[in-house]
Amino acid sequence: MSPEKQWPALPPTRTGLRGRCPRCGEGHIFQGFLKMRPSCEVCGLDYSYADPADGPAFFVICFACIPSVVLALFIEAKFEPPFWVHLVTSIPFMLLTCIPPLRPLKGWLVATQYFYKAEEARFTRKAGPGR
Protein backbone atom coordinates (compact mmCIF):
# COMPACT_ATOMS: atom_id res chain seq x y z
CA MET A 1 0.00 0.00 0.00
CA SER A 2 1.40 3.41 -0.95
CA PRO A 3 1.78 6.15 1.66
CA GLU A 4 -0.82 8.30 -0.16
CA LYS A 5 -3.56 5.70 0.41
CA GLN A 6 -2.93 5.48 4.16
CA TRP A 7 -4.02 9.05 4.80
CA PRO A 8 -7.49 10.50 4.24
CA ALA A 9 -7.80 13.52 1.98
CA LEU A 10 -8.08 16.46 4.36
CA PRO A 11 -9.44 19.77 3.03
CA PRO A 12 -6.84 22.57 2.81
CA THR A 13 -9.10 24.97 4.69
CA ARG A 14 -9.19 22.60 7.67
CA THR A 15 -5.47 21.96 7.84
CA GLY A 16 -3.70 24.89 6.19
CA LEU A 17 -5.48 27.75 7.93
CA ARG A 18 -4.57 26.17 11.29
CA GLY A 19 -0.94 25.56 10.23
CA ARG A 20 -1.31 21.78 10.38
CA CYS A 21 0.22 19.11 8.16
CA PRO A 22 -1.87 18.66 4.99
CA ARG A 23 -1.46 14.86 5.09
CA CYS A 24 -2.13 13.88 8.71
CA GLY A 25 -3.69 17.08 10.08
CA GLU A 26 -1.77 16.71 13.35
CA GLY A 27 1.79 17.90 12.73
CA HIS A 28 2.81 21.49 12.27
CA ILE A 29 3.85 23.23 9.05
CA PHE A 30 5.68 26.14 10.65
CA GLN A 31 8.82 26.30 12.74
CA GLY A 32 8.52 30.02 13.45
CA PHE A 33 6.05 32.67 12.40
CA LEU A 34 6.48 32.04 8.66
CA LYS A 35 9.46 29.66 8.46
CA MET A 36 8.42 26.20 7.31
CA ARG A 37 9.61 23.00 8.94
CA PRO A 38 11.59 20.59 6.74
CA SER A 39 9.02 17.83 7.40
CA CYS A 40 6.04 16.89 9.55
CA GLU A 41 7.00 15.68 13.03
CA VAL A 42 4.04 13.24 13.09
CA CYS A 43 3.80 11.59 9.65
CA GLY A 44 7.16 12.62 8.17
CA LEU A 45 5.76 14.39 5.09
CA ASP A 46 8.60 16.26 3.37
CA TYR A 47 7.59 19.89 2.86
CA SER A 48 10.15 20.53 0.12
CA TYR A 49 7.33 20.32 -2.44
CA ALA A 50 5.77 23.50 -1.03
CA ASP A 51 6.58 26.81 -2.64
CA PRO A 52 3.96 29.44 -1.81
CA ALA A 53 6.42 32.12 -3.00
CA ASP A 54 4.83 35.58 -2.70
CA GLY A 55 1.25 34.31 -2.70
CA PRO A 56 0.43 35.19 0.91
CA ALA A 57 1.94 38.65 0.57
CA PHE A 58 -0.01 39.27 -2.65
CA PHE A 59 -3.32 38.36 -1.02
CA VAL A 60 -2.57 40.51 2.03
CA ILE A 61 -1.62 43.46 -0.16
CA CYS A 62 -4.82 43.16 -2.18
CA PHE A 63 -7.26 42.51 0.64
CA ALA A 64 -5.73 44.23 3.66
CA CYS A 65 -3.07 46.81 2.73
CA ILE A 66 -5.06 48.63 0.08
CA PRO A 67 -8.15 49.10 2.30
CA SER A 68 -5.88 50.19 5.17
CA VAL A 69 -4.27 52.86 3.02
CA VAL A 70 -7.68 53.96 1.73
CA LEU A 71 -8.85 54.33 5.34
CA ALA A 72 -5.78 56.41 6.22
CA LEU A 73 -6.34 58.63 3.17
CA PHE A 74 -10.02 59.00 4.07
CA ILE A 75 -9.14 60.07 7.61
CA GLU A 76 -6.63 62.55 6.24
CA ALA A 77 -8.98 64.00 3.63
CA LYS A 78 -12.08 64.16 5.82
CA PHE A 79 -10.66 65.32 9.14
CA GLU A 80 -7.15 66.68 8.38
CA PRO A 81 -5.86 65.42 11.74
CA PRO A 82 -2.38 66.03 13.12
CA PHE A 83 0.26 63.44 12.32
CA TRP A 84 0.03 61.76 15.72
CA VAL A 85 -3.57 60.69 14.97
CA HIS A 86 -2.25 58.53 12.12
CA LEU A 87 0.37 57.10 14.46
CA VAL A 88 -2.41 56.06 16.84
CA THR A 89 -5.02 54.91 14.29
CA SER A 90 -3.73 54.18 10.80
CA ILE A 91 -0.44 52.47 11.56
CA PRO A 92 -1.81 50.05 14.19
CA PHE A 93 -4.80 49.28 11.95
CA MET A 94 -2.48 48.55 9.04
CA LEU A 95 -0.24 46.31 11.14
CA LEU A 96 -3.20 44.40 12.61
CA THR A 97 -4.80 43.79 9.22
CA CYS A 98 -1.61 42.93 7.31
CA ILE A 99 0.61 40.78 9.54
CA PRO A 100 -1.72 38.23 11.20
CA PRO A 101 -3.23 36.88 7.93
CA LEU A 102 0.19 35.96 6.48
CA ARG A 103 0.58 32.70 8.41
CA PRO A 104 -2.90 31.24 7.74
CA LEU A 105 -2.68 32.21 4.07
CA LYS A 106 0.73 30.60 3.68
CA GLY A 107 -0.51 27.45 5.43
CA TRP A 108 -3.57 27.36 3.20
CA LEU A 109 -1.43 27.71 0.04
CA VAL A 110 0.92 24.91 1.17
CA ALA A 111 -2.01 22.62 2.01
CA THR A 112 -3.68 23.43 -1.31
CA GLN A 113 -0.49 22.53 -3.19
CA TYR A 114 -0.45 19.16 -1.42
CA PHE A 115 -4.18 18.52 -1.83
CA TYR A 116 -4.15 19.17 -5.59
CA LYS A 117 -0.66 17.70 -6.07
CA ALA A 118 0.53 20.94 -7.67
CA GLU A 119 4.08 20.97 -8.93
CA GLU A 120 6.31 22.92 -11.23
CA ALA A 121 5.48 22.53 -14.91
CA ARG A 122 7.84 20.35 -16.92
CA PHE A 123 7.86 20.83 -20.65
CA THR A 124 9.36 18.05 -22.75
CA ARG A 125 9.80 17.85 -26.44
CA LYS A 126 8.47 14.65 -27.96
CA ALA A 127 10.39 13.27 -30.88
CA GLY A 128 7.85 12.93 -33.68
CA PRO A 129 8.13 11.85 -37.28
CA GLY A 130 10.64 13.85 -39.25
CA ARG A 131 12.60 15.01 -36.18
**Count of domains for the chain:** 1
Whether 10 and 25 have beta carbons less than 8 Å apart is answered as yes
pLDDT of residue 28 exceeding 50 = yes
| Structural domain contains residue 123 | no
Point out the least confidently predicted range of 71-75, 97-101, 102-106, 118-122. 118-122
In the predicted structure, residue 2 carries a pLDDT above the cut 50:
no
Predicted TM-score of the model (pTM):
0.83
In a domain, 127, yes or no: no
Mean pLDDT of the chain: 90
**Residue 25 resides in a domain:** yes
Residue 128's pLDDT is 61
- Asked whether 43 and 24 are in contact (CB, 8 A), the reply is yes
* Nearest CA among 33, 9, 31, 32 for reference residue 22: 9
Give the structural domain span for 34. 8-115
Q: What phi and psi values does residue 65 have, to the nearest 5 degrees? A: -65, -45
Per the CB < 8 A criterion, the answer to whether 42 and 21 are in contact is yes
Indicate the burial class of 28 (C-beta count within 10 angstroms; 0-12, 13-18, 19 or more): middle
Determine, yes or no, domain membership for 3: no
Residue 16, domain member (yes or no):
yes
Q: Is residue 63 part of a domain?
A: yes
Contacts of 26 (CB under 8 A, 6+ apart): 20, 42, 43
